[in-house]
Every structure is written in C-alpha cells, then in structure tokens.
A and B are shown apart, each in its own frame.
Chain A
C-alpha cells in the first residue's frame, strides 16, 4: 500500500485517501503553440521505470494537490512537496541521486542541477 505524506496537512495519507493526477511539472502550451509543442503537452510523457515525479491530490483530506517522487518499480517514496513550484526541491533531487546516481527526469537531475 502506498502512503504519501501530504505536505499541507502533514498527514500520512493512505493511497485510498488520495487521487492520482498523472505526471508532474507539465508545461502547458496554448493556442499559439506549434503542433509539436501541443502534442508534447497533451500526449508525451516520461513514464519511467524508476523514480517518477507525479501529481497527487489529498482528496479525502485537505483537498490540495501536491507532488511526489516515487519509484514506479519498488514504490519507494523519496518525498513529497507542494505543487506551487516549477521544479522539485534541490534536497529531494539530491536524495534521489544519492540512491540512483544516473537518475534524470525531463530537465531535472542532470549534471547542472
């Protein structure tokens, strides 16, 4: 069973109290975008076998959306963080890299971050 700590409540929420919201940090492309950009926004996903950044909603609790870093194969949770951000916190990236040195995810986790 997956348990994620809601960063707004501090509650250790069970998977059944949560609602999965798909991939985190998607950049929205609107009416002026190119076909490729819009396709990327709508359809192109990381879908990694490894640590993934996801959106979750504490639906049966405070109702807020937050982000989580979770391994899709082991279900290991590396951490959660509020949704009011464009990137995962540096400490969280460091924590992931410590265990998974080769981890990268979109523009995050590379040599520069």
Chain B
C-alpha cells in the first residue's frame, strides 16, 4: 500500500490580506499591479504559489507574493488605493503553507474538511476556506495538487493531521 499523498511544508510565502471594495476600478488596478492578476470571482484562485490571488470573501482577497517582496507589494497597493477605504496587511508570518501532492489528494482533504471534493464540484483554480479537522484553513487546487494555508500557531497540528490522513488507510475511490 502506497501513501495517498505527500505533505510538504512550503517555504515562507508572502501573504497580504487585502480588504476593500472588490468591484472598484482602483482595486482592480491595485491587484493587477501587485500580483499581475485580475480580481478573482467568488471562490476562485488566480495565479500560482509565487504570485497569486485568492477570493476569501465578498470584500477580502489573499494576495500571494514572493516573501521578500511583501513590503514593496503593500506600497504598490497603498499607492493604487489612495483615498479609498481599504486594508492591506502583511500576514506572511502568521501563516503556514503545506503542499499536498500525489494521486490521492482529494481523499486526504475529504477526510479532514466538510467539503464536497468530487471533481464535478471542486477543481483546479478553486479556493475554499473551511475547517481542517479542528482548525480554520483554506486550500486551493492547482495542477500538481492542493496548497493548504493555516495559522502558523497551529501548523504542527495541521502537519500532523494532513500527514496521518495521507499515510493511513486506503483511497475511497469516490474521486477517481
């Protein structure tokens, strides 16, 4: 029996919580300038783990930028959003990121999260904020698997439950 997935703790990523009016032209320009991406639609993730943007709520985005480019990205945002009501905060060091790769990644997350992970319901480019076992987490799907983000204070717990889910038991076959 082989493991369903490989869990890897990713290197530190630059993460910025950006809140404001996601429908405004200024916000569109700001996100483009900071990440080269458009404003994602509800539940969408655009870009990749180096530079991307995740839809978090109707007035919140999570921007992913290189770790040492955060200060510069926030400066870009602040300039683009000047005189509007917004919030741009560096949350890089408050977060931990795990990559889940392999052929049983859907099974691994389905064991821990109350989310319909069938390919008909969840696919590449989608993001979901949810509960991972007993903690809050968010994940998005890309071509090589899932990226999972949680608070760094519970990173060891997340690594533990993810690893256990990935290395015990068999695949359900529901997600083939």
Point out residues on A near B: beta carbons under 8 Å. 8-14, 16-17, 60-64
Name the interface size band of chain B.
Answer: 10 to 19
Secondary structure of the B contact surface, majority rule: strand
A10 partner residues in chain B, CB cutoff 8 A: 42-43
CB distance from A37 to the nearest CB of B (A): 34
Check B144 for interface membership: any CB of A closer than 8 A.
no
- The answer to whether residues A61 and B129 also contact, given A8-B58, A12-B116, A16-B114 and a CB cut-off of 8 A, is yes
B56 partner residues in chain A, CB cutoff 8 A: 62
CA distance A61 to B116 in the complex (A): 14
Q: Is the CB of B57 within 8 A of A60?
A: no
CA distance A8 to B55 in the complex (A): 12
Give the interface centre of A10, A60, A61 by most chain B CB atoms within 10 Å.
A60
Given contacts A14-B115, A62-B60, 19 further A-B contacts (CB under 8 A): A9-B42, A9-B43, A9-B58, A10-B42, A11-B43, A13-B114, A14-B131, A16-B131, A17-B114, A17-B131, A60-B129, A60-B131, A60-B136, A61-B57, A61-B128, A61-B130, A62-B56, A64-B57, A64-B58
CA distance A60 to B128 in the complex (A): 10
Interface residues of B in 118-160 (CB under 8 A from A): 128-131, 136
CA distance A69 to B56 in the complex (A): 25
A14 partner residues in chain B, CB cutoff 8 A: 114-115, 131
B128 partner residues in chain A, CB cutoff 8 A: 11, 61
CB distance from B138 to the nearest CB of A (A): 9
CB distance from A101 to the nearest CB of B (A): 34
B116 partner residues in chain A, CB cutoff 8 A: 12
A64 partner residues in chain B, CB cutoff 8 A: 57-58
CA distance A64 to B129 in the complex (A): 12
B114 partner residues in chain A, CB cutoff 8 A: 13-14, 16-17
A16 partner residues in chain B, CB cutoff 8 A: 114, 131
CB distance from A85 to the nearest CB of B (A): 16
